[in-house]
Structure 1
Amino acid sequence: MRIGIVGAGAVGSFFGALLEQGGHQLTFLARGKHLEAMIKRGLIIKREDETITVHGTFTDDLKQLGNTDLILFCVKSNDTEHMAKKLLPILQKDSIVMTMQNGVDNEEKLEQIFGAERTFSCATYVQAVKEKAGIVKQHGRVSLVIGELERTTSEQCSQIVTLFQLAGIDAKHTSNILEKKWRKFLWNVTFNSLSAISTAAVGHILDDGPLRKTAEKVCEEAMEVAIRLGISIDSQQIKETIFKNAERAREHQTSMLQDRLSGKQMEVESMCGYVMRKAEEFDIAVPTIQAFYSILTHLNRTMIKSSQRTK
């Protein structure tokens, strides 16, 4: 199958490499030093027990995605609409798009642009970081939960799941992907924003009393919004699961923390902003998330100004 990775950062590069090894034809859309390094040396994936080097097509030219059958959509949520609108006239009419992004609002944006029958979603469980340009390091468990937005495309979704399984990736199909995404989102909103503000890894948050209490408060606020949106969850059970899973990711630097340390724009709107706006609709107080939103938005603006000064 011809597969395009749109936004070949750590996550997109990692899964693209495994699919390339599985015999598929990959095109990696990237930019900057990461792109330059991949063109020069190939894409290098470091895992706990092996190192993989792949030599796919690495480009910053969207037109090279024109003949792809499947797009793995991995750009930061800040760029979802912009990138999707640029892709629409380039892709074939029967090309399908699967989001592997954080957050729970990208599906709606992609559905509006590509249509529900062409849009699929994936809850991605992986600890991957760009060690340096052209090199991605991954450790810990890898798991995907994939689902359709349109019930009539369930069989096609199962075929996507099989594609990943045959590449040696733990992948499962679900008929309720948005609920699965929300469960992952609750973990992300609990740890991403706090880690980005404090620059603490997950384990440091768990071990620091005040930070852990703050994380628990964020989790509780976000769960209240999820329940009002009709997401079926047991609050106490989900909270216990979130913090139990965090124990397995003690050394992990969250994606928002990675972005802050790299001087990149953080996914504030898709994380804290989304919860805050939904809370306002339901007249729910989320003071901790609102405070995080204000701080992280300020940090994003500061990074933009700093970047403009250095140009």
Structure 2
Amino acid sequence: MTIGILGAGAMGQLFGARLQLAGNDVVFIDASATTIEALNRHGISLTTDGQAEHAPARAGTAQDFAEPLELVVVFTKGFHSAAAIESIRHLIDERSMGLTLQNGLGNAEILAKEFGAERTWIGITDFPADLERPGFLSTSSGGKVRLGPLTGGLERETDDLAARLNTARLNATSDPAIHQAIWEKIAFNAALNTLSAVTGQTVGEIGSSPEARRIVDRVLDETTAVARTKGVTLQRDRVESALENAFTRHKDHKTSMLQDREAGRRTEIDYIGGAVVRLGQEAGVPTPVLWTLSKLVLSAVS
């Protein structure tokens, strides 16, 4: 299968390397000249639970490739989605499938404009990926992927897509409640990433602070209420369980949004907490805590 990885950061390199090692023809599409040069020069060295393997890599900008892609897996930041998808328009034909494993809300609708809603899949993953430098990363074997179609039906096609990912040891399952799963991840990230970016605290520091935990509870209240207006009922106990696991197992971790803030990079707040706020405004659901946190994140990096 000819597969395009759109966004060759840590997650893109992890998935692309695994898919290449499974016998697929993978191309890495990115805007970074440094990343492109590194991947073309030495491929990807991937260490999983201490076991090293090497995958050859073919990387470039979208204009460096001409052959149609059967599957495009998207990992770009949300604020790059529209431009990134537009850049590969010449690589998409009537057989192409798009799969977004990005954080945040709104990415799937961007994919659907180019691939068609019936050729667009959505999903979440919890695979860890630590990128030392382009082409050198490590992960563990405990991650998984949950995916489903943007629209209803397509059970066979979704099962086939999951099977393709599983040949690459990506532990994928078809999830009929994928929209619920995505909203639960939104709730998790809106609570943890946003608060960490505002306070500068690690995951464990947030978990050990009664005041921070009260804010987390309010964020979950607001996100749950907004999700309900979209026809999605969050399993709040699952979100709370995931947060507790993060508080104890990843207590020294700095969230990606905090890392972006500290590096002066643009964050994805508009696609996580900010997206919940916008949907709440449209539905008449107040989100004062998330509104405040989102504005504080934006002001910190503006």
TM over 0.5: yes
Structure-2 separation of matches of 1:152 and 1:209? 44
Q: Is the alpha carbon distance of 1:145 and 1:239 closer, same or farther for their aligned partners in structure 2, counting shifts above 3 Å?
A: closer
Residue by residue over 1:214-252, the C-alpha shift from the partner in whole angstroms, topping out at 9 and shown as x without a partner, is 2232222212211232212344x2443232332343344
- Map of 2:171 onto structure 1: 170
Q: Is the 8 A contact 2:96 2:115 kept in 1?
A: no
Alignment TM-score, normalising by the size of structure 1? 0.88
Q: Is the 8 A contact 1:35 1:134 kept in 2?
A: no
**One-letter amino acid matched to 2:190:** V
How do residues 30-49 of structure 1 correspond to structure 2 at under 5 angstroms? Answer: 30=30, 31-49=32-50
Q: Are residue 72 (structure 1) and residue 73 (structure 2) matched?
A: yes
How do residues 135-150 of structure 1 correspond to structure 2 at under 5 angstroms? Answer: 135-139=136-140, 141-150=142-151
Deviates more, 1:288-297 or 1:72-81: 288-297
How far is the alpha carbon of 1:210 from its aligned partner? 2.5
- Map of 2:120 onto structure 1: 119
- Map of 1:306 onto structure 2: none
Q: Is the alpha carbon distance of 1:39 and 1:251 closer, same or farther for their aligned partners in structure 2, counting shifts above 3 Å?
A: farther
Q: Is the alpha carbon distance of 1:114 and 1:200 closer, same or farther for their aligned partners in structure 2, counting shifts above 3 Å?
A: same
How far is the alpha carbon of 1:266 from its aligned partner? 0.8
- Map of 2:23 onto structure 1: 23
Q: Is the 8 A contact 2:62 2:87 kept in 1?
A: no
Q: Is the alpha carbon distance of 1:65 and 1:207 closer, same or farther for their aligned partners in structure 2, counting shifts above 3 Å?
A: farther
Structure-2 separation of matches of 1:14 and 1:172? 18
How far is the alpha carbon of 1:155 from its aligned partner? 1.4
How far is the alpha carbon of 1:6 from its aligned partner? 0.2
Q: Are residue 201 (structure 1) and residue 205 (structure 2) matched?
A: no
- Map of 1:10 onto structure 2: 10
Unaligned 5+ segments in structure 1 are 302-311
Q: Is the 8 A contact 1:27 1:65 kept in 2?
A: no
Deviates more, 1:239-248 or 1:20-29: 239-248
Q: Are residue 218 (structure 1) and residue 222 (structure 2) matched?
A: no
Deviates more, 1:67-76 or 1:290-299: 290-299
Q: Is the 8 A contact 1:63 1:90 kept in 2?
A: no
Structure-1 separation of matches of 2:301 and 2:156? 41
Q: Is the 8 A contact 1:99 1:107 kept in 2?
A: yes
Q: How many residues align?
A: 300
Structure-1 separation of matches of 2:23 and 2:90? 28
Q: Secondary structure at the match of 2:23?
A: coil
- Map of 1:304 onto structure 2: none
Q: Is the alpha carbon distance of 1:77 and 1:298 closer, same or farther for their aligned partners in structure 2, counting shifts above 3 Å?
A: same
Q: Is the alpha carbon distance of 1:77 and 1:167 closer, same or farther for their aligned partners in structure 2, counting shifts above 3 Å?
A: same
How far is the alpha carbon of 1:58 from its aligned partner? 1.5
Q: Secondary structure at the match of 2:142?
A: strand
Structure-2 separation of matches of 1:261 and 1:132? 18
How much identity, in percent, do the aligned residues show?
26
- Map of 2:108 onto structure 1: 107
Q: Is the alpha carbon distance of 1:38 and 1:258 closer, same or farther for their aligned partners in structure 2, counting shifts above 3 Å?
A: farther
- Map of 1:157 onto structure 2: 158
- Map of 2:285 onto structure 1: 284
Structure-2 separation of matches of 1:138 and 1:203? 21
**One-letter amino acid matched to 1:157:** T
Q: Is the 8 A contact 2:69 2:91 kept in 1?
A: no
**One-letter amino acid matched to 1:26:** V
Structure-2 separation of matches of 1:140 and 1:213? 33
Q: Are residue 185 (structure 1) and residue 160 (structure 2) matched?
A: no
How far is the alpha carbon of 1:51 from its aligned partner? 2.2
Structure-2 separation of matches of 1:272 and 1:85? 25
- Map of 1:250 onto structure 2: 251
Residue by residue over 1:139-159, the C-alpha shift from the partner in whole angstroms, topping out at 9 and shown as x without a partner, is 472110011123343211211
How far is the alpha carbon of 1:201 from its aligned partner? 2.7
Structure-2 separation of matches of 1:3 and 1:160? 12
Residue by residue over 1:71-112, the C-alpha shift from the partner in whole angstroms, topping out at 9 and shown as x without a partner, is 001110011122222222332221111001011321122223
Structure-2 separation of matches of 1:122 and 1:234? 17
